[in-house]
A and B are shown apart, each in its own frame.
Chain A
């Protein structure tokens, strides 16, 4: 398979950056997208050029590190997967593929296709936890029964991998899906109730401080989320936030 790649190259956070065109001809359809980039890089190194830097780690769709905007869509054309799970069989011989970093003011570019997503960490730090001690909890796990339906919903929200595709896809670069997934995980569990009001207020406050946009319910985040996190979580967070605001 022969491909033309248009890739965003940027030396560091301060540099300007531009799109650069590359041609690649020995692409196998069983390759993953990142393996295709490995081959490109191997070729660049051979020529003495600097390889394209991109974030990746587990290459099995769970760590949330990989983060490429491919042909205008986060994680590429397929649904419910990350870039590392995208395979070249989703493309055709002769295709031109545009590869860019996530774009959001809150995700500044570090180099080439790598962005800084520490804003997500700070949102979690603002309240994405249950304040229990970790050095020994005396309550037996089964002393807190949780309705299966609730536990499953909580789990579904908790499967967020923090990749940032929701922000990348959203025309407003909003982080509502990400934030609401964590808020929901705890809001759905009895253990999370005690601090629920404080948690949602602090996390939303931090989310706003980071400079993410406002949610306008376009639903793009849900479509592009590799883990299929539902928009219901955003509604839940809105609800939780309103109750918390009314409570004062």
Chain B
């Protein structure tokens, strides 16, 4: 087992980034014109990196499978983006954001990266406001904040429930400016199918034009993968339908280590599954937990009656309700981190207190917030003796102003009015903390291949805090990568254009064509979705919110068998030389079928419970996670050796010089 060099600069934590920026090599503006960079993925990380690198003068090519860069799934992020601005004067600081993020990640993230993230967080807000991102404001015209799970300050900037959309459109606008200048060439409806290495360095990609089916070669001096997470491994998730691991997985197979694949975030507040036809799950923003109270009936017979439709939740008296988060975690209450809230919901439902037909749902109730806001509004409007109905109406108006679009979304899907009856929610796969291993410069173990945003294993350790994903994506793209990539590219100023007519490109293209042919010529028994759903079931049941060694081992066997079956019997209709969504899906699912096995292996290897990774064997008597810092305080980076189960583990020991590693407690 080798040790991984994270290339964290020396010196005091708070000065590392500044010092690093001052000492790394730069490329002069005239030379940047001669350097090409490929960016795969155009979400927050990819879009912002593309815009900034193009602005610096590099020639950028962007690739996305969507029909426009604006549609990347960052757009669906609802709640907000964190930044240590301390505009509220509630004691926030870079250090506190750093500390909260490390603690929220259950001490499994890299200290120096997280501190850098906290440092640049404030720049993000300045940057986005200058770009015209319409953040929510107070009546005085200044920016408004709200608070999110796992922290005790208000540091989240937001644009109603559409913060991701507004930030992505900001990055997309910045990209458009560079496209207009001719500095970015945008390839939409293109999918990266392989990474091309020349002399051990990433020098290009093979991509498929999804409209014509053409296989294309694209070269560059460096390749940035900003392709998001791999939560679609579970089939049902809050990810978009097209989200996939292909780019990252291809890089992994070419030598990039894959870190902590089992660190997956199961988000506590999603709309529950309604039936077998379900194709995806919809998130209800964590910001709702600011005002919503989570509960289940305190008595089993009430839960039973509710499930059978004999009892309505609104009919249940206060004392018959179990506000289990407030009960178990009095300090943080409904605002505990996501992993804690999700497990608590699962615990209640497993114990028989679930409130929908499937028994897998809990209530998120706004009635007390509605009345509280309503009374406040009545007072400030001079209505001293407003009746309950008026108070409720006023309160509903305030809730609507805050969360209107989310409530509307809920009502459209579930056909129930959440102003009148509590929402039903259940945890769902939402984010993957794991991803390609990168050093401090965001470079993977392949020279010249970088990973940004959710695609890297990054800054969130074993659990990500709310409103931190947007922060990380933009930090990587706008402020980190544009500096660090220059250090690598400074060696390439004399390289000249990279030719695509080389044996390396030939081989990669050959490989890609062979794989497509193989997919198209399988026996044709079952559809791609059939396999994807099967994989999802294995993952959810055996690698989901709680895991144990026996089931993880079973999962590995089952996934391997399913993969075998897939390659022999999958049915891909249509032709390869044109638009073919089945072929696109097949390629993605094929990768998931490999990653799934590594995922289970990683979970099996990690004999502790931390963050989103909960091993049933390792818990306290109260059912809280039991971390093992002595043996597992490392990032597990896996090297591909030809078969997922034989992947080789490399450890990056995590060093905490600046904070005391403690048991995480939200009590």
Interface, chain A (partner B; CB < 8 A)? 11-12, 28, 30-32, 34-35, 38-39, 42, 44-46, 48-51, 53, 55-65, 78, 80-81, 85, 87, 89, 110-111, 114, 116-118, 120-121, 124-142, 144-148, 151-152, 154-155, 158-159, 161-162, 185-186, 189, 191-192
A109 CB to nearest B CB, Å: 11
Q: Do the beta carbons of B573 and A34 come within 8 Å of each other? A: no
Q: Please measure, in the bound complex, the distance between the C-alpha atom of A135 and the C-alpha atom of B179, giving whole angstroms.
A: 17
**Seed contacts A151-B134, A155-B166; 7 additional CB < 8 Å A-B pairs:** A35-B277, A63-B66, A65-B71, A110-B211, A134-B51, A141-B85, A148-B139
Q: Do the beta carbons of B188 and A118 come within 8 Å of each other? A: yes
Q: For B241, what are the chain A residues with a Cβ–Cβ distance below 8 Å?
A: 56-59
Q: For B166, what are the chain A residues with a Cβ–Cβ distance below 8 Å?
A: 155, 158
- Quick one: given A30-B274, A130-B130, are A59 and B66 in contact (CB under 8 Å)? no
B135 CB to nearest A CB, Å: 7
Q: For B409, what are the chain A residues with a Cβ–Cβ distance below 8 Å?
A: 60-61, 85
Q: Do the beta carbons of B76 and A62 come within 8 Å of each other? A: yes
Top 9 nearest A-B pairs (CB, nearest first) are A145-B141, A129-B173, A155-B134, A141-B129, A111-B579, A154-B134, A57-B240, A58-B240, A125-B176
Q: Please measure, in the bound complex, the distance between the C-alpha atom of A31 and the C-alpha atom of B172, giving whole angstroms.
A: 33
Q: For A85, what are the chain B residues with a Cβ–Cβ distance below 8 Å?
A: 409, 412-413
What number of B residues sit within 8 Å (CB to CB) of A? 81
Q: Which of A133, A154, A191 has the most CB of B within 10 A?
A: A133
Q: Please measure, in the bound complex, the distance between the C-alpha atom of A146 and the C-alpha atom of B278, giving whole angstroms.
A: 43
Q: For B186, what are the chain A residues with a Cβ–Cβ distance below 8 Å?
A: 121
Q: Please measure, in the bound complex, the distance between the C-alpha atom of A132 and the C-alpha atom of B173, giving whole angstroms.
A: 11
Q: Do the beta carbons of A185 and B132 come within 8 Å of each other? A: yes
Partner of B162, one of A53, A139, A159: A159
Q: Do the beta carbons of A162 and B70 come within 8 Å of each other? A: yes
Interface, chain B (partner A; CB < 8 A)? 48, 51-52, 55-56, 66-71, 73, 75-76, 85, 87, 123, 125-132, 134-143, 159-160, 162, 165-166, 169, 172-174, 176-177, 179-180, 186, 188, 211, 238, 240-242, 274-275, 277-280, 282-283, 408-409, 412-413, 415, 478-479, 482, 524, 527, 529, 571, 573-574, 578-579, 581-582
Q: For A145, what are the chain B residues with a Cβ–Cβ distance below 8 Å?
A: 137, 140-142
Q: Please measure, in the bound complex, the distance between the C-alpha atom of A89 and the C-alpha atom of B408, giving whole angstroms.
A: 16
Q: Do the beta carbons of A135 and B55 come within 8 Å of each other? A: yes
Q: For B69, what are the chain A residues with a Cβ–Cβ distance below 8 Å?
A: 121
Q: For B52, what are the chain A residues with a Cβ–Cβ distance below 8 Å?
A: 134-135
- Quick one: given A30-B275, A118-B67, A129-B174, are A158 and B169 in contact (CB under 8 Å)? yes
Q: Please measure, in the bound complex, the distance between the C-alpha atom of A121 and the C-alpha atom of B173, giving whole angstroms.
A: 10
Partner of B479, one of A12, A60, A135, A159: A135
- Quick one: given A30-B274, A158-B134, are A42 and B75 in contact (CB under 8 Å)? no
Partner of A144, one of B129, B159, B188, B277: B129
Q: Do the beta carbons of B55 and A133 come within 8 Å of each other? A: yes
Q: Do the beta carbons of A53 and B176 come within 8 Å of each other? A: no
Q: Do the beta carbons of A125 and B180 come within 8 Å of each other? A: yes
Q: For A49, what are the chain B residues with a Cβ–Cβ distance below 8 Å?
A: 573
- Listed by A's residue number, 5 A-B pairs whose Cβ atoms lie within 8 Å are A85-B412, A129-B174, A139-B126, A152-B137, A185-B134
Q: Do the beta carbons of A128 and B529 come within 8 Å of each other? A: no
Q: For A136, what are the chain B residues with a Cβ–Cβ distance below 8 Å?
A: 123, 127, 479
